[in-house]
Amino acid sequence: MIYGYCRVSTSHQTKENQHYVIENFAKRNNIVIDSWVEETISSGKRLRERKLGALLTELKDGDILITTEISRLGRSLLEVMGILQMCLERNCQVWTLKENFRLGADIQSKVLAFAFGLSAELSRSLLKERVRESLARLKAKGKKLGRPAGIQARHLKLDRNKEKIITFIDMGLSKAQIAKELRVNRATLYYYLRNTDIF
């Protein structure tokens, strides 16, 4: 399947220009767009609230997602990288016309996927370092840190899988499905989500 994806942020903008650009590209290259996904929504919305999020869960091996430019996918580098990584893991291609990217199963895409993963890991490391510095500063001021021991023990597994939980949420999985994937009690997951900054 070949998908055309168009997104604008407000109702004052129009998707017709993006549709026209993709349609012309398809005609010039003898490509048939099997399905169009168009939405008027801010890229600041969570992926699971966007039609793009639903589309990503439907993509299959060999599918192609065509959009006018990479910024249509998301507003931040990390979000875009996460979306591209999801597509590459499903062996799907992402084509962006403005940048002329053809991300798929070739060696260039694998190098880019490695770069995406490395960038995400670097971002996590920098975040951890900032957290450590903040905690050390608070501890030096005499503030008591950490959760009570019982809660900490119950939620240690969920803390380790926080990024995976966020990905599952963005993919549109229900809390019951996420609990099943992580092999934890649903009540434990619900309590954890209520007491973290995920939502």
What is the per-residue pLDDT across 45-60, written as a single tens digit (0 to 9) for each? 888 889 999 999 999 9
Tell me the C-alpha distance between 87 and 26, whole Å: 20
Among 23-32, 50-59, 190-199, the minimum mean pLDDT is found in: 190-199
Q: Positive or negative, the Cα torsion across 24, 26, 30, 34? A: negative
Q: Which two tokens stand for residue 121?
A: 């890991």
CATH topology for 2-110? Rossmann fold (3.40.50)
Residue 68 to residue 50: CA distance in whole angstroms: 17
CA dihedral 74, 78, 80, 86 (to 10 degrees): -130
> What global pTM score does this model have?
0.55
Q: How many CA atoms lie within 13 A of 33 on its CB side?
A: 22
Pairing of strands 93-96, 35-40: unpaired
Q: Where are the domains positioned within the chain?
A: 2-110, 146-199
pLDDT above 90 for 25: yes
CB 6 within 8 A of CB 38: yes
In the prediction, which pLDDT does 145 show? 67
Strands (E), 77-193: 93-96, 101-103
Measured CA angle at 153 (ends 148, 159), to 5 deg? 100
On average, the pLDDT of the chain sits at 82
Q: Which among 27, 22, 31, 29 has a CA at the least distance from the CA of 4? A: 22
pLDDT tens for residues 101-156?
888 766 676 676 566 556 656 666 777 787 888 888 888 887 776 655 555 555 77
Q: What is the pLDDT of residue 42?
A: 81
